[in-house]
Amino acid sequence: MLSIVHRNIGWIEVICGSMFSGKSEELIRRLRRAIIARQKVAIFKPKIDTRFSDDHIVSHSELKIPSKVVESAWDILEQSLEAQVVGIDEAQFFNNDLVLVCQKLANMGKRVIVAGLDQDYRGEPFDPIPQMLAVAEYITKTHAICVICGNPANYTQRKTPNKERVVVGAADIYEARCRNCFEPPEESKKEIKLSAGNRGKAQETSK
């Protein structure tokens, strides 16, 4: 009886963290277990992520699992009607419609597992992951190891001066850093100082 009830309830799981923190590895691990249990699994990644393989999700440690490449979040909805479990990798490359789509899938009774970067190269929240965290039932934050000092790393350091938000690459362009060793680009440092100043003012006026 419990199993019947459980099958009718969907939910959202989010796996997030910096690059090299094992997000794809963890996603693949969860999806493999579902496949072993003979559940119907549909796996997706955005068209922009062409690293390593076109039709597989591949982790940096070269684990891989077959996946479909889609252009928009709505393609996921269309292509996973039969699935019991829906896996989505590199979720930060979708727009905010992904949140709506995942909500719909979970409401249909599906288990939805989303993996993605939660901060961009400036250390700022990377949409739509913050919104996904708000509506998710389960959240796993993965950590890499800081290449400078060996502490747990929560930031992705870009090693090139490129200012575009999306620059696809791996260890050639990025490395994991902890809070102390992370060096945000010059323009973000100014923004952080500015917003800290505003917060002080707001507290003063509320007194």
Which residue ranges make up the site for Zn ion (CB under 5 A)?
A: 146, 148-149, 151, 178, 181
CB-nearer residue toward Zn ion: 84 or 151: 151
Strands of 5-159 (E only): list them: 11-17, 41-46, 56-58, 64-66, 68-70, 85-88, 111-117, 138-142, 144-145, 152-153, 155-158
Shortest CB 183 distance to Zn ion, Å? 11
Which residues are known catalytic residues? 90
Which C-beta is closer to Zn ion: that of 148 or that of 173?
148
Least spacing, CB of residue 30 vs Zn ion, in Å: 29
**18 or 92: CB nearest Zn ion:** 18
Nearest approach, Cβ of residue 19 and Zn ion (Å): 15
Q: Nearest to residue 39, comparing CAs of 5, 84, 80? A: 84
Work out the number of other CB atoms within 10 angstroms of the CB of residue 132.
27
* Cβ proximity of 18 and 119 under 8 Å: yes
Residue (55 or 183) nearer to Zn ion, CB: 183
* Tokens 């708000």, residue located: 134
C-alpha span between 158 and 185 (Å, rounded): 9
C-alpha atoms less than 13 angstroms from C-alpha of 70 in its C-beta half-sphere:
24
Rounded to a whole number of angstroms, the minimum distance from the CB of residue 142 to Zn ion is 17
